[in-house]
Amino acid sequence: MSRTYRRKRGDHTDLEWRTRELIRVPGYYIWHWVPLDPESKEYKKIVNKYHSDVGTNHFSCRAPGWWITLTSQRPYRRDADRQIKKWMLDPDYEIIIESKEPLPYWD
């Protein structure tokens, strides 16, 4: 279940406070909360981060993309290419490509 779905009817006071900026009134020791412009990039970035599921599970710290490619995708593709080349040389050869195990952060 996504965070967006969970928060659909929930309380958005946290988001309201995040989309405000604390500004000091010049000449006084008074501070005011001023809402950000909804069309600004900063506002959109805050709202998107609030509604995303990044960092909500224990698999959020995944390995870098280059490491995943090196350790799981390339060997898998290499084995599949070998099987297809063997079949091209001998059409009676039965292609055996094992299914790839899902990575732990896939839900």
31-45, 69-83, 89-103 — most confident range: 31-45
d(CA 94, CA 84): 9
Query: Can you give the pTM of this predicted structure?
Result: 0.42
Burial call 77-107: b when 16+ CB within 10 Å, e when fewer: eeeeeebeeeeeeeeeeeeeeeeeeeeeeee
d(CA 52, CA 106): 16
Q: What is the pLDDT of residue 11?
A: 65
d(CA 29, CA 62): 46
CA distances 85 to 30, 49, 69, 81, Å, are 75, 46, 22, 6
Q: What is the pLDDT of residues 35-67, one digit of tens each?
A: 889 899 999 988 888 777 666 555 556 667 777
Place 89 in a pLDDT band, splitting at 50, 70 and 90.
very high
Q: What is the pLDDT of residue 5?
A: 56
